[in-house]
Amino acid sequence: MGAVTSSIRGAFSAPKPKKVLMLSLDNVGKSTIFYRMQGNETAVPFPHIGIETEDIRHKRCTFRAWDVSSQAVSRRMWSSAFPDTEALVFVVDTSDRERLEEAAEELRTALAHDDMRGCRSVLVYANKQDCDGCLSVAEVTSGLGLPRVAAGRKWTVQSCIATRSIGVMDGLDWLEASLIGDA
């Protein structure tokens, strides 16, 4: 009898949110994307120290998004947020070609960490696609070394303009599909 009750309760209870970690260098638009994912088109992000978390319901999935501070001093503490991460959202400022190698190093370091073994999906937002001379999706993919760095994981690069919400939900669609098995 207890097994029947347990399986009935499981059929109607909400699934556990998927832990999604959001990382980037500073000033790339990560917090703007974080707010757009929540459907907030008017929030003006501000630099923060620490971690902001929010449950984001998207179609068939609930994400528990962790927006981790990007300030250089905070990056040393990123690893404290790594345990139980199922997906990584990494944001790149495509208008800042000179920081692509720094971004690549931070991404490599994060994905190589032992506590990131459970991270099975990597979504890279190539933000600020409206800027003259910005990096293309192909340049971001190559510059980050994604085929090598994210080997064994599902990954994609989504072009976006966070300030206008262009491409943000497309990335979230891919993330949902990758975590529930459709991608």
* Residue 159: inside a domain: yes
Q: Which residues are annotated as a binding site for Mg(2+)?
A: 31
Q: Please state, in angstroms and rounded to a whole number, the distance separating the CA atoms of residues 16 and 174.
A: 19
Q: How many helices (H) and strands (E) in the chain? A: 7, 6
Residue 48 has a pLDDT of: 60
* Residue 7: inside a domain: no
- Give one DSSP letter per residue of 53-97, joined into a string: EEEEEETTEEEEEEEE--SHHHHTTGGGG-TT--EEEEEEETT-G
Q: What is the span of the domain harbouring residue 19?
A: 15-180
Residue 54 has a pLDDT of: 80
From the first residue on, what is the mean pLDDT of each consecutive set of 10 residues in the chain (183 residues)? 50 75 90 85 65 83 78 63 92 98 95 95 98 98 98 98 96 95 66
Q: What is the CATH number of the domain that holds 124?
A: 3.40.50.300
Q: Please state, in angstroms and rounded to a whole number, the distance separating the CA atoms of residues 4 and 79.
A: 41
- Give one DSSP letter per residue of 10-48, joined into a string: HHHSPPPPEEEEEEE-TTSSHHHHHHHHTT-SS------
Residue 68 has a pLDDT of: 75
Residue 34 has a pLDDT of: 85
* Residue 4: inside a domain: no
Domain count, the chain: 1
Q: Which residues are annotated as a binding site for GTP?
A: 127-130
> Going along the chain, which residue ranges are E strands?
18-24, 51-58, 61-68, 87-93, 121-127, 154-159
* Residue 35: inside a domain: yes
* Residue 174: inside a domain: yes
- Give Cα 125 distance to the centre of its chain: 8
Residue 16 has a pLDDT of: 86
Residue 6 has a pLDDT of: 47
* Residue 76: inside a domain: yes
Q: Please state, in angstroms and rounded to a whole number, the distance separating the CA atoms of residues 54 and 64.
A: 6
Q: Which residues are annotated as a binding site?
A: 31, 127-130
* Residue 6: inside a domain: no
Beta bridge mates, 99: none
* Residue 10: inside a domain: no
